[in-house]
Amino acid sequence: MMIDCKNLRKVYVNGDVETVALKGVSFGVEKGDFVSIIGPSGSGKSTLMHILGALDVPTEGEYFLDGAEVSKLNDDQLSDLRRSKIGFVFQAFNLLPRATVLRNVMLPLLFTETTQEEREARAREALKYAGMEESKFHNLSNQLSGGQMQRVAIARSLINNPAILLADEPTGNLDTRTSEVVMEAFQQLHKKGHTIILITHEMEVAQYARRIISVRDGLIEKDVINKKYA
């Protein structure tokens, strides 16, 4: 199993006030699956995303990613895990506006022991894999459409061949048609064997995944296989 979460609890403390964001969440994700985690604001889905992305650790419970017990790692170990095992795709794209498409995708490799030629070759491969037109590789990112920028962000997330892709509201800044194009790109990545976890508050977006986990009030309310995949 790629991901194994056991009784995850997360409590935030602010002075004398305790807020319980997760109340005992357990689930697993197999390698190559496509899972959406959906819930309204305040449901705990963002807290769960931070834990799955090794951006935070649970107050109680265990989280294993690709055999590593993430819930017991320190900050440096969490940073190493994020860099080596997790590809992030965010709502805001997080691209450098005055850098080319190629340079944006190469960024995660700049502090690795790779040559300029290898970095560029891997960036080109990732961009093609994500469905980006080669004619746009030398465009500045601020010259792209929203859908194109998100494809660049997806390519950047793939550059280190991560164990999982974690997409946090990846269509939040896109119109309906562009959202469909981006989600179809995720479906293609799933067909190629990638493990994808999608965080969203929109059922229309969640429906692109093979499995839908609904979260409410810090608990899993439903965990079902999408009928489209059954």
**Phi/psi zone of residue 120: left (φ > 0), alpha (ψ -120 to 50 degrees), beta?**
alpha
> Does the structure show a pLDDT above 80 at 62?
yes
On whether residue 132 sits in a domain, the answer given is yes
102/196 Cα distance (integer angstroms): 23
Most confident of 13-17, 29-33, 111-115, 176-180: 29-33
Output the pLDDT for position 18: 92
The model's pLDDT over 24-57, given as tens digits with 9 standing for 90+, comes to: 999 999 999 999 999 999 999 999 999 999 999 9
Q: Summarize the confidence of residues 137-166 as an average pLDDT.
A: 93
The CATH number of the domain holding residue 100 is 3.40.50.300
Output the pLDDT for position 228: 84
Tokens of 37: 């985690």
Q: How many domains is the chain built from? A: 1
Q: Kindly list the strands in the beta sheet with 60-65, ordered across the sheet, starting from the edge strand earlier in the chain.
A: 17-29, 3-14, 60-65, 68-69
On whether residue 82 sits in a domain, the answer given is yes
> Does the structure show a pLDDT above 80 at 230?
no
Q: Summarize the confidence of residues 146-162 as an average pLDDT.
A: 93
Q: Summarize the confidence of residues 122-127 as an average pLDDT.
A: 95
Judged on CB neighbours under 10 Å (0-12, 13-18, 19+), 223 is: middle
On whether residue 230 sits in a domain, the answer given is no
Helix (H) or strand (E) holding 77: helix 75-85
| Closest-CA residue to 132 (of 109, 149, 110) | 149
Output the pLDDT for position 185: 92
On whether residue 163 sits in a domain, the answer given is yes
Sole residue written with tokens 């995660």: 108
On whether residue 179 sits in a domain, the answer given is yes
The model's pLDDT over 165-199, given as tens digits with 9 standing for 90+, comes to: 999 999 988 989 999 999 999 999 999 999 999 99
Output the pLDDT for position 110: 84
178/43 Cα distance (integer angstroms): 27
On whether residue 100 sits in a domain, the answer given is yes
154/131 Cα distance (integer angstroms): 10
Show Cβ contacts of residue 103 under 8 Å, excluding neighbours closer than 6 positions: 96
Q: Summarize the confidence of residues 138-152 as an average pLDDT.
A: 93
Mean pLDDT of the chain: 93
Structural domain boundaries, residue 212: 3-225
